Amino acid sequence: MPSMTGPASASPDVESVVRRYHRAERAVSWLVVLVVVAAVLAGFRALDPLPAALVAVAVVVIVRVPIVCRGGHTRLAADAEPSTVASEFRSVTPPVLAFQWGIADGIEAGDDEDIGGGSDERSPIRATYRESRREPTASAVGGCQLFGLRSVSLDVEVRSVGTESGALETLQVSGTADGRPWGRYRVSIREGDSRTVVDVEVTTDRRFDLRSVPQTLVAERFFEAALAAQGYRVVDRDVSWSA
């Protein structure tokens, strides 16, 4: 049966990085809304009511229309054994999702999975991260509803997809946010020269609106630190936006 726990247990180093990321991400979310509101108010001051209303609607539509997606490749290196790395990724808290499980209020694990660590089973690992956040939200006409409470859920599945050439194991980490496809990570783990090498291919399964761009840039700023806190070094990273 599914089980619900509190926030994921993480090392102090991971918690520190996640807290700094969360503060910066919240600040950016507020800044985006304030910029939208400022643009709308400027329109009403400079234009007649009808044109100003049209500008307000246009501004809100522009920032909310899904037009961008994201994908690319990251190579990580770790001193841990390949089997240990595989176990960490084959868990309800895979390292590449630290910003998601790290800020979750609770994690609901499916089929009695272990919240704190990996599983040796080859069956899919499933979990749901739940978070309630207070954040500014722009209304349909560009107003600002302060301290709006919004519940967010991310359903995560980690599935073994066999082994590629030279790989100990290949996993697919996929996410569904509030019932909509979110993204996929294809993770190949192999033994390198005196270290474990992890190749991660990331693909978003849907397009995102422009509000997500500043938030993603914040996540990018803390990405290496979050992985380093878990024992991984970023050797190479090439992830980009596309329309």
Cα dihedral value 139, 143, 147, 150, nearest 10? 10
Q: Is the pLDDT assigned to residue 97 strictly greater than 90?
A: yes
Element (H, E) at 36: helix 12-46
Sign of CA dihedral 14, 20, 25, 26: positive
* pLDDT at 132 (0 to 100): 73
Confidence of residue 141 (pLDDT cuts 50, 70, 90): very low
Q: List the alpha helices (DSSP H) in 65-178.
A: 82-89, 98-101
Q: What is the mean pLDDT of residues 183-204?
A: 92
Q: Is the pLDDT assigned to residue 1 strictly greater than 70?
A: no
Q: Is residue 11 packed enough to be buried (19+ CB in 10 Å), middle (13-18) or exposed (0-12)?
A: exposed
**Beta carbons of 140 and 155 less than 8 angstroms apart:** no
- Scan for tokens 């969360």, then name that residue: 22
* pLDDT at 135 (0 to 100): 56
* Residues 15-74: tens digit of each pLDDT: 999 999 999 998 988 888 888 888 889 988 998 989 888 988 888 888 888 888 889 999
Q: How many of the other CB atoms lie within 10 Å of CB of 240?
A: 7
Lowest average pLDDT, out of 107-116, 185-194, 219-228, goes to 107-116
DSSP state at residue 208: B
Lowest average pLDDT, out of 32-46, 77-91, 225-239, goes to 32-46
Distance from C-alpha of 86 to C-alpha of 118, rounded to nearest angstrom:
8
Element (H, E) at 214: helix 212-228
Tell me the residue length of the chain. 243
Q: Is the pLDDT assigned to residue 162 strictly greater than 90?
A: no
* pLDDT at 238 (0 to 100): 94
Each domain of the chain, given as residue ranges in start order, spans 11-238
- Scan for tokens 């001193």, then name that residue: 79
- Scan for tokens 């050797």, then name that residue: 235
* pLDDT at 145 (0 to 100): 37
Alpha-carbon Rg for the chain in angstroms: 20
The tokens of 31 are what? 């800044």
* Residues 163-176: tens digit of each pLDDT: 777 788 999 999 99
The more confidently predicted of residues 127 and 210 is: 127
- Residue 149's identity, in one-letter code, is L
The more confidently predicted of residues 31 and 110 is: 31
Q: What is the mean pLDDT of residues 214-237?
A: 94
Backbone angles phi, psi at 211, to 5 degrees: -60, -25
Architecture of the CATH domain 11-238: 2-Layer Sandwich (3.30)
- Scan for tokens 């309630």, then name that residue: 132
- Scan for tokens 């422009």, then name that residue: 210
